[in-house]
Amino acid sequence: IIEIGTPSHSVITTCAYCGVGCQFKAEMRGDELVRMTPYKNGKANRGHSCVKGRFAWGYATHKDRILKPMIRDAITDPWREVTWAEAMEFAASRITALQAKYGRQSVGVITSSRCTNEETYLVQKLARAVFLNNNTDTCARVCHSPTGYGLGQTFGTSAGTQDFDSVEAADVIMVIGANPAAGHPVFASRMKKRLRKGAKLIVVDPRRTETVEGAHYKAAHHLALTPGTNVAVVSALAHVIVTEKLYNEDFIRSRCDWDEFMDYAEFISQPRHSPEAVQMVTGVPAEEIRGAARLYATGGNAAIYYGLGVTEHSQGSTTVIGIANLAMLTGNIGRPGVGVNPLRGQNNVQGSCDMGSFPHELPGYRHVKGPEVRAIFEKAWGVQIDPEPGLRIPNMLDAAVDGTFKGLYCQGEDILQSDPDTHHVAAGLAAMECVIVHDLFLNETANYAHVFFPGSSFLEKDGTFTNAERRINRVRKVMAPKAHYADWEVTQMLANAILEKAGRPTWTYTHPAQVMDEIALTTPSFARVTYDLLDEMGSVQWPCNDKAPEGTPTMHIDGFVRGKGRFIVTEYVPTDEKSGPRFPLLLTTGRILSQYNVGAQTRRTANTTWHPEDVLEIHPHDAENRGIHEGDWVRLASRSGETTLRATITDKVAPGVVYTTFHHPDTQANVITTDFSDWATNCPEYKVTAVQVSPSNGP
């Protein structure tokens, strides 16, 4: 029993884990946080929470936190603790010298979807207004960048179309490549409530996840496809809808480009897209696909929710486009109970994309090539903006290996552990002359850093996160920053140290509210957003502007953001990652309820007791063939590398498929994954890796 005592006061803030965006009362006793209580007026959670947000906040005060800035001349040297002023001088001198020697494009930034909107805005501004290039990218590159491309191309903007309340009006819910029961539990409980009341469920996932069947509900169709065949399945669903004339002609004629629809209909009607034709490729019985397509098209309000099982593929963008096509075909867009909804893994994936952290887009998803858009920011920032898109994360690493990219400021992101092809990431980092890591902990990437700036946790700063339903939630400072400065202040100090050397005007923000005011000034979908409005309304969903002063729960009601919705053909191109005699099984990955991503936070909390290690799920047939028993150590090897972990035998996975989580660094899951990536966005293909599994004596 833990004696908590009586809290002295509480502060309303927002969970820093997943994209549901639950709000909590942080209950304090003096300066000490004693309890996180789910906030009943939180619009995304209505008093509910999961074990991460409620219990896993102890990392913020963990002894592993680094609280002093550190520098070193070479990555083989020991770290030296220095003052903030010395660290800034060291970093600014190196960045300035690198740009003088190797050119303006030789340095860049990486932001994190864990950071606030205001921090992300300032980091991309650091690249564009201080470094004077567009070399800015975000960890959303490795998760939802295909959502940005696919929904941008079809609907005109990269965002979920609905609020979470909408699920309560759905008659059919299709979940593709997501396991909300583990990844987005508070949303999942609202979805399950609707399912228990009779809504029908379709799940498209290689694995029989916790979402497929629950208390008092069971999926009407579970399309347990072979990893890597999403496009074939989604196209087969569309084939049935078009050839059986189940589409909504009135909607398509009024809301979409009819000529493009006709071209698409001709393409998708071809027999090669039929469920029978793709059955061999996808492993899904044709009658299951036909049944699911009929249900989705004729079952009433039909909503699609999808996750990284869609995006993290070589055809991630194609699948997102295919999903948008399904919604447009059936008119399931623009009212409650329908829509296309990416379930964002991290707390601020939506916001980090909204804030212009991609190298080709300024805040608000506007291309840097547009002179009228650049003019808005040039006026606000007093600089000329480079009209050429900058480097994505993989391009930065390639350029580093080639010797043309030399300096990196990486805020809140551990690219060595998170990004694919660990050896290549390490080679890129090792080739740089100035790597600045800004984080709570001395992470894996910091092994290659020359400067370490201590970060601030979500409890130590003001700002906003934007959740998966475009809801902008306030993050409120609960305690003073443990390393003296909040992250936005550190970015400003770095910017100013560089600007002073160049004799240019410095930044003068004194509070993140001023950063939000600048976002509102430059970004039409945020035009009416202020901290006062957020305090008054609790939260607001963008677009929030003169047309929608109280925000927008449902998008695309009268028309798509781009005007007419656009049908785009979705040709299935098999991934280059093939199983074969040497690597006969396909590995796919996911997450578990109590843990979060690479575990940097949850591993430093009591949640680890629920999931102390990653394990490999293997089907009984595959285990028996290899002489593997429950709990045995196994060697998991791919063309890229190998690791060792314990096996668990289960028919949740089909024969030929194995599955693991990626929460523990010892697993080194990204040593195994390939370097294949989405054709449009370079999002890594984490979800398909050909592997061999064999008994092992352990690590």
Binding site for ligand SF4 (CB under 6 A): 15, 17-18, 20-22, 45, 49-50, 52-53, 184-186
Q: Which lies closer to ligand SF4 via its Cβ, residue 53 or residue 206?
A: 53
Residue number, 52 or 663, with CB nearest to ligand SF4: 52
Nearer to ligand SF4, 133 or 605 (CB): 605
Q: How far is the CB of 467 from ligand SF4 (least distance, A)?
A: 8
CA triplet 30, 33, 38: central angle to 5 degrees? 125
Tell me the closest approach of the beta carbon of residue 49 to ligand SF4, in angstroms. 4
- Which residue, judged by CB position, is nearest to ligand SF4 in the bound state? 53
Please report how close the Cβ of residue 55 comes to ligand SF4 at its closest, in angstroms.
9
User: ∠ at Cα 667 (663, 669), nearest 5°?
Assistant: 80
Distance CA 73, CA 68 (A): 17
DSSP state of 477: -
Q: Which amino acid is at 615?
A: V
Q: Please, are residues 416 and 432 in contact by the beta-carbon 8 Å criterion?
A: no
Minimum CB–partner distance for residue 347 and ligand SF4 (Å): 7
Cα 321 from Cα 156, distance rounded (Å): 12
Identify which of residues 124 and 594 has a Cβ nearer to ligand SF4 in the complex. Answer: 594
| DSSP-assigned letter for residue 630 | T
Q: Which is nearer to ligand SF4, 52 or 200 (CB)?
A: 52
State the nearest-atom distance from the C-beta of 609 to ligand SF4, in Å: 17
Residue 38 or residue 206: which is nearer to ligand SF4 going by CB? 38
Closer CB to ligand SF4, residue 313 or residue 461? 461
Is 167:192 a contact under the CB 8 Å cutoff?
A: no
Closest approach, Cβ 45 to ligand SF4, in A, equals 6
CB distance 206 to 653 below 8 Å? yes
User: What is the helix (H) or strand (E) element at residue 381, kind and residue range?
Assistant: helix 371-381
Query: Is the Cβ of residue 345 or residue 684 nearer to ligand SF4 in the bound state?
Result: 345
Place of tokens 């700036």: 453
Size of the chain in residues: 699
Cβ-count burial 454-491 (b if 16+ within 10 Å, e if not): bbbbbbbbbbbbbbbbbbbbbbbbbbebbbebbbbbbb
Q: Kindly tell me which of 438 and 604 has the beta carbon lying closer to ligand SF4.
A: 604
Q: With contact defined as beta carbons under 8 Å apart, do 109 and 514 qualify? A: no
Letter for the amino acid at 111? T
How many Cβ atoms from other residues are within 10 Å of residue 354's Cβ?
27
Smaller CB distance to ligand SF4: residue 152 or 180?
Answer: 180
Residue closer to ligand SF4 by CB (options 49, 692) is 49
The smaller minimum CB distance to ligand SF4, of residues 94 and 114, is found at 114
Q: How far is the CB of 601 from ligand SF4 (least distance, A)?
A: 10
Contact 642, 635 (CB under 8 A): yes
Nearer to ligand SF4, 184 or 564 (CB): 184
E runs forming strands in 325-418: 339-342, 361-362, 366-367, 407-411
Query: Minimum distance from CB of 684 to ligand SF4 (Å)?
Result: 23
Task: Select 21 or 275, whichever has its Cβ closest to ligand SF4.
Answer: 21
Distance CA 489, CA 123 (A): 11
- Per-residue buried b or exposed e for 171-187, using 16+ beta carbons within 10 Å of the residue's own CB: bbbbbbbbbbbbbbbbb
From residue 84, alpha-carbon distances to 75, 77, 494 in Å are: 20, 20, 10
Nearest approach, Cβ of residue 1 and ligand SF4 (Å): 24
Q: Which H or E run includes 183? A: helix 180-183
Query: 228-249 as b/e, with b when 16 or more CB fall inside 10 Å?
Result: bbbbbbbbbbbbbbbbeeebbe
Secondary structure (DSSP) of 450-473? SEEEE---GGG--EEEE-TTSEEE
- Taking the complex as a whole, how short is the minimal distance between the CB of residue 162 and ligand SF4, in angstroms? 17
Sheet holding 434-439, edge to edge: 80-81, 70-71, 451-454, 434-439, 407-411, 107-111, 136-138
Q: Are 644 and 696 in contact (CB under 8 A)?
A: yes
Shortest gap between Cβ of 50 and ligand SF4 (angstroms)? 3
Q: What's the closest the beta carbon of residue 658 comes to ligand SF4, in angstroms?
A: 26
CB of residue 519 vs ligand SF4: minimum separation in angstroms? 22
One-character DSSP codes across 38-88: E-TT-TTTTT---HHHHHTTGGGG-TT---S-EE-SSTTSPPEE--HHHHH
What's the closest the beta carbon of residue 141 comes to ligand SF4, in angstroms? Answer: 22
Q: Output 185 or 407, the one with its CB closest to ligand SF4.
A: 185
Query: Which residue, among 175, 162, 467, has the nearest Cα to 323 in the 3D structure?
Result: 175
Least CB distance to ligand SF4 at residue 11 (A): 16
The H or E element spanning position 194 is: helix 185-196
